[in-house]
A = this chain, B = another copy of it.
């Protein structure tokens, strides 16, 4: 049941921030953008940026760089952000509500069709235009809409049980914001977000800075 590894994971993770910068330059009226400009903006090496962008199939032109519109298309196509993807959000607590409000989704092809919660006080309400339905009808809704992607923001204690139910209803991709490592069948893709990873990075950077100052 070993999941295939995505080899270029760190490159893929950087693509959205490239896209963000490139779209900014497009707005400002640019036609071409060089890897060096992107690199400087993000404190990366230009060679790294060129390598990362190459995974989308695009190659820059010497001296001019990348044609912006083609570059945007290449990145969006590589990420599948140029087509729409129906999704449900399960668990409309604080984190769920924060995610519903996240602007990036619509631009990236994520079509959030409904949210679900067990709390009767929340049911029937809307967050940013997305209605919250009773958790009791989540399976029915998934089957009816053929949504394949679920954003999982339930309490960790409910995570596995909820995931099992969603998968049974037809979900094959879970964006997991709980801290449970879900056990899922082979055909299901899980992306686990872990806040403590970013916090670990921050703590190590703080310590490295403190050390630098001591040695200076």
Cβ of A14: which chain B residues have Cβ within 8 Å of it? 197
- Contact yes or no, A191 B181, CB < 8 A: no
List 21 A-B pairs, Cβ < 8 Å.
Answer: A9-B201, A13-B200, A16-B197, A17-B194, A20-B179, A79-B203, A80-B204, A80-B207, A81-B203, A94-B95, A95-B98, A99-B195, A102-B195, A108-B196, A148-B206, A149-B202, A172-B209, A173-B205, A187-B209, A187-B213, A193-B198
Cβ-closest 10 pairs across A and B: A191-B202, A16-B196, A95-B98, A94-B98, A13-B197, A94-B97, A80-B203, A189-B205, A193-B198, A173-B206
- Secondary structure at the A interface, as helix, strand, loop or mixed, is helix
Interface check A30, CB cutoff 8 A:
no
Given contacts A172-B209, A173-B206, 6 further A-B contacts (CB under 8 A): A16-B194, A79-B200, A85-B206, A105-B199, A175-B199, A191-B202
